[in-house]
Amino acid sequence: MEEEFYAIIKLISGEEVFALVSIDDSGDEPVIILQSPVTMKTFNHHGTSLVKIKPWVEMSTEDIFVIRYDKIITMTETSDQKIIQVYDRYLNDDDNDEGPLLKNSSSRVNISQKMGYLTSVEEARRHLEDMFKIPPKDIDKDVK
């Protein structure tokens, strides 16, 4: 078994997977061993570049997966420290649902008692009815 390295893998299914990878060529058919594989999507939101990270196999509790070479289109080793840092933060995060970039405490809003309804349903209904009420004499003119 070779040394572990971070890699981006393009599968024949079209998926792109990022993982800590090692190659096992001790058997008859060499295989790729993926440790905690994830999919990463980058997008821009209000001028900020964000990364959404999801587990490659979302319903599994396992973190080690084996892939045969014939299922891979290409694989490239990466040493991009930003991607590796985001990946490591994601793995070390206890609650992976939000992703590491969204869990930043400065981006969270604390809930207070002042947040909530601006009015009751009845008050809003009365206000809207009054706002759109057409005087009865105007209705008669339009009908004639």
Using 50, 70 and 90 to split pLDDT, how confident is the model at 101?
very low
Report pLDDT for 12: 93
Report pLDDT for 17: 94
Buried b (16+ CB within 10 A) or exposed e, 13-42: eeeebbbbbbbeeeeeeebbbbebbbebee
7-11, 36-40, 93-97, 132-136 — which is least confidently predicted? 93-97
- Residue 48 belongs to a domain with what CATH number? 2.30.30.100
Domain range for 71 is 5-107
Report pLDDT for 50: 83
Label residue 131 exposed, middle or buried (CB < 10 Å: 0-12, 13-18, 19+). exposed
Number of separate domains in the chain: 1
Report the pLDDT averaged over residues 28-43. Answer: 89
Q: Which residue has the tokens 């008859």?
A: 28
Is 124 part of a structural domain of the chain?
no
